[in-house]
């Protein structure tokens, strides 16, 4: 499994080795074949706003966008599943609101975006519940495998799992604006 990372922002330093390992673990957990390739782009609000406007008609920044590649026939042995574009500026704002490290928020956004690439959606309530459950399962897996070491602020996976839960589910415990967006 190949994870290509393009860091187009300068706000924070990205641990690309950790991101690559986490993305590969998620893809493996989701049963994707070894010959899959994923592209992850870290950018600023301006860049993601342009993409959001161009491809989805929403002229505003968002936290994460996913662009699946649906190829029936492949020229090579590698199958590119798509791009996950993460606004680091949005991740910083959301991490501050949720009072956890920005790297933890980036991991959540990566998880959310990757799930979109493999077919998860949140446009209807039943699909939202299914996607949120899968996000929570993946968050627990990453925590159990110690891939979130030094990122979690508590001894358990609670901060990231809390992030995977809708505000109403968490009784408005946090002002979670990123997971319910339809433009992801």
pLDDT category at 162 given cuts 50, 70, 90 is low
Which residues is 37 bridged to in the sheet? 2, 80
Q: Which tens digit of pLDDT belongs to each residue from 46-91?
A: 999 999 999 999 999 999 999 998 765 555 677 889 999 999 999 9
The pLDDT, as a whole number, for residue 69 is 87
CA pair distance 137, 146, nearest whole angstrom = 14
Quote the mean pLDDT of the chain: 82
> Two tokens at 139?
């968050």
Residues 6+ apart with CB under 8 A from 104: 95, 148, 151, 152, 153, 159, 160, 163
**pLDDT band with cut points at 50, 70 and 90 for residue 153:** low
pLDDT of amino acid 74: 53
Domains of the chain, each with CATH number or no CATH:
2-164 (3.40.390.30)
CB of 87 within 8 A of CB of 62? Answer: yes
Which of 12-21, 127-136, 146-155 is least confident? 146-155
Contacts of 53 (CB under 8 A, 6+ apart): 59, 60
Closest among 13, 11, 22, 1 to 148, alpha carbons compared: 22
What integer is the mean pLDDT of 136-160?
73
Of all residues in the chain, the percent with pLDDT exceeding 90 is 58
Do the Cβ atoms of 94 and 105 come closer than 8 Å?
A: yes
pLDDT tens by residue, 110-124: 999 999 999 898 888
State residue 71's pLDDT score.
Answer: 62
C-alpha dihedral (146, 166, 95, 174), degrees to nearest 10? -120
pLDDT value at residue 179:
35
């Amino acid at each position: 499994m190949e994870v290509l990372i393009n860091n187009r922002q300068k706000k924070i330093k990205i641990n690309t080795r950790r991101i690559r390992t986490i993305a590969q673990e998620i893809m493996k957990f989701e049963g994707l074949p070894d010959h899959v390739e994923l592209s992850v782009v870290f950018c600023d609000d301006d860049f993601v706003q342009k993409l959001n406007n161009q491809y989805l008609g929403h002229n505003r920044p968002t936290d994460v966008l996913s662009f699946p590649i649906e190829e029936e026939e492949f020229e090579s042995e590698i199958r590119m599943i798509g791009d996950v574009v993460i606004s680091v500026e949005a991740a910083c704002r959301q991490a501050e609101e949720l009072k956890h490290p920005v790297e933890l928020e980036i991991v959540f956004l990566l998880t959310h975006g990757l799930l979109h690439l493999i077919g998860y959606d949140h446009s209807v309530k039943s699909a939202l519940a299914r996607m949120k459950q899968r996000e929570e399962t993946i968050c627990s897996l990453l925590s159990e495998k110690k891939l979130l070491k030094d990122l979690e602020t508590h001894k358990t996976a609670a901060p990231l799992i809390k992030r995977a839960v809708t505000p109403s589910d968490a009784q408005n415990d946090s002002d979670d604006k990123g997971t319910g967006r339809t433009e992801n």
